[in-house]
Chain A
Amino acid sequence: MPSGNAVDEGGRGMTTTEEQLEQAQQFERLKALVDKPYRWIDRKWDAVFWISAAFIVGAACDITKLLFAGDWDFWTDWKDRIWWPILTPFALVIIGSALQYIQWLAWRFPTGMTYTAICLWPLATLGRWLQWGNFVHYPMNFVWPTTMVPAGIFADWVLFKTKSFILTSVIGSAVFAFGWWVSNYVMIAPFLQPAQWMDRILTVADIQGISFIHSQTPEYLRIVEHGTLRSFLGETQYVALVFGATVTVAGYWIGQFIGRMLAIWPIGRFMKKW
């Protein structure tokens, strides 16, 4: 909204009526621009952008997830109550947040998180099926990747409704972390059933981890809950979830840094000395 001291091009102060007229004209100019036809810019450019960017967006999210939380993502016996819900949403939200900024700023599309999620999914699934499944022969019910699609939808919804990155960073991240956990807990649940094996009670996931040999990751490398949060009366899971949500907020702002400073800031900027 222009201030009461708006000036026109001649430097004269403008009255409120003139401001409103100027604003209305600007409004009409923008409306016309939305659907303006161009000589050389058609929707093929849109298609090239969306499809080309899908690769690098998915890859950026995949490598961030793999190297920040990969082990928890690779194996069912790592998908525990504590580290999995803290580290994985943090790792996943980063690139989605960057894309939220870019796509909202440039197009007012609340799609960044979901776009990242659907770009990640085929890459992650292909990687698991082709490399972990087909190449090494792990059963896919042992090495399935987590999904961030439902979580991404919720976070994008929050952005569209709040129109604010600050609010999305808090509400959206919380919703993202919780939505991520629910959508993936549903998948891990069957593998948390107990079974008697080697004279012990173990989960199906533990048995998968021991039966399907991975020679270079001895079992002691597994970073899962050891039971040190028993003081929370068995509410370990929920404490971890809430903490995971706060860590996801931090991840969201890391993503905002990437979007704002590494993707948008360089536009049209040049180094003179290098």
Chain B
Amino acid sequence: MMKRLAAVLLLGLGTGLAFATPASAHGEKSQEAFLRMRTIGWTDVTFSGGHMDPNGDMVIAQGEKFTIKGTAKLMNTWPDSLAKGLPRIGYINVATQGPCVEMLTRTINGVSTPSRIEITKGHYYDFEETLMGRRVGRWHVHPTFAVKGAGTLLGPGQWVRVTPHAFTSSIKLYNGKTINLENYNLVSVWTLQVVGFLLGLIWIFWWTWWGKTAKGNPRRTVTNPAVTLAIPLNDDGVAVGLNTKKDHRVVNIIALATALFLLIGWIWQASAFPVKIPQQVVEYEPPLTSQDQAPTLAAVDARSAKYDYQAKVLRLEVDTKNVSNSPIQLAQFVTSTLTFVNPASGTAPYGQYQDALKASPSGTIQPGQTATLTIDLPGSRFDEEHLLPRGESQLTISGLLVFKDASGQKDSAEMEEPLQPKYIS
């Protein structure tokens, strides 16, 4: 019966394994939709470098560089339930499947940024990250914005295929010496570890195997309680022949050898690496971007967000007032990883995370005018990205409405509106 059961289980598993298809994304879809939409608005995210293959993968070699650029807005719709509603510390990074790519440079708002930054709600963060291929394989790479107390929010990703090529991770030390991060001092670390381990092994082998009792017999273990429980706890058993004076000498020698080993190691590191500093904590507030200081183009007031399950359309109605001196037009609607481009504004969607929206009226809004924009978004994209907050505790649609004026200047306005799903026809 057991054999049959095992066979069934194995067969089922084997069948499943044979027909498995690779994932298209990871991790971010399990985060709640309303959280992903209300936190970071990702605009103008581009991947450049290598070459694109017919599948849309960016192909780079190990050691070859590529760049991720874009703008992340820390939205004012940031929920109270994350970081107590007050995001303060952030870290712009990438999400990958381990160190399959390696970070080389990162600038935020034009400033080199190795680690964390101080952040403020409503501000924009222009990031540019240069990475290089490291592990051969096909990897999904996203820019990320991590916020202390909240977690990591992912932007739109790109499949990156890393091909084999010789490479190093070169770093120049303070003294001009160039090292390879991949294996720097690996041999000395292993040597120190192994020698230490061998010393411990010698200690244990002495007590369990090589050492002898007073009568010269191999020392035993499980039968000793017959003796040890009859002598005081603070008695080392030498008097009854469990242990011997030789044991005392041997442990002195091993302990001394260990101390010498450490002393030699200490002298070695002090002379080989005379200049050392503690690990550094770099934290600063990036300067404002031009977008932070750019004039507002539109004031928006969302009126409804309705989802038609049968037609698979998410329809937004937004009162939009042009508060600038130039005609404006809706360029994009951005929410979480998705960007919906208005083809009427002269751009077409590209890449896996972009699609087209339909805006009506599709033309420009004159200065001072208010128009009620009806924006139809393809619901299937929301379904794929798990961005429709069905079954969640906040049925809200949030995002950035990106407008541009006649000169091409862009500005984004945040919208947030309760979702009105049509559950039955």
**Are A226 and B281 in contact, CB atoms less than 8 angstroms apart?**
yes
**Are A107 and B230 in contact, CB atoms less than 8 angstroms apart?**
no
**Are B203 and A156 in contact, CB atoms less than 8 angstroms apart?**
yes
**Residues of A68-113 whose CB lies within 8 A of B:** 77-81, 104-111
CA distance A46 to B217 in the complex (A): 14
**Are A108 and B228 in contact, CB atoms less than 8 angstroms apart?**
yes
**Are A46 and B222 in contact, CB atoms less than 8 angstroms apart?**
yes
Chain A CB within 8 A of B295 CB: no
Residues of B within 8 A of A270 (CB): none
**Are B228 and A49 in contact, CB atoms less than 8 angstroms apart?**
no
CA distance A79 to B240 in the complex (A): 46
**Residues of A132-189 whose CB lies within 8 A of B:** 136-142, 144, 147, 149-150, 152-154, 156-157, 160-161, 163-165, 179, 182-183, 185-187, 189
Residues of B within 8 A of A222 (CB): 279, 281
**Are B204 and A204 in contact, CB atoms less than 8 angstroms apart?**
no
Residue in A34, A149, A213, A216 whose beta carbon sits within 8 Å of that of B196 in the complex: A149
Asked, given contacts A150-B196, A211-B102, whether A43 binds B220 with beta carbons under 8 Å apart, the answer is yes
Provide the main secondary structure of the chain A interface: helix
**Are A190 and B184 in contact, CB atoms less than 8 angstroms apart?**
yes
Count of chain A residues with a beta carbon within 8 Å of a chain B beta carbon:
98
Chain A CB within 8 A of B242 CB: yes
Chain B: residues with CB nearer than 8 A to chain A? 89-91, 93-96, 98-106, 112-116, 134-135, 144, 146, 148, 152, 169, 171-174, 179, 181-186, 188-190, 192-193, 196-197, 199-201, 203-204, 207-208, 213-215, 217-218, 220-231, 233-237, 239-243, 247-248, 251-252, 254-255, 258-259, 261-262, 265-266, 268-270, 272-273, 275-283
Chain A: residues with CB nearer than 8 A to chain B? 26-27, 30-31, 33-36, 38, 41, 43, 45-46, 49-50, 77-81, 104-111, 114-115, 117-118, 121, 125, 136-142, 144, 147, 149-150, 152-154, 156-157, 160-161, 163-165, 179, 182-183, 185-187, 189-208, 210-216, 218-222, 224-227, 236
Q: List 21 A-B residue pairs with CB atoms under 8 Å apart, sorted by A's residue number.
A: A27-B240, A30-B227, A31-B214, A34-B215, A34-B227, A38-B223, A107-B228, A108-B235, A110-B207, A110-B251, A125-B193, A141-B186, A149-B200, A157-B252, A182-B262, A187-B189, A192-B277, A211-B99, A211-B169, A213-B96, A219-B93
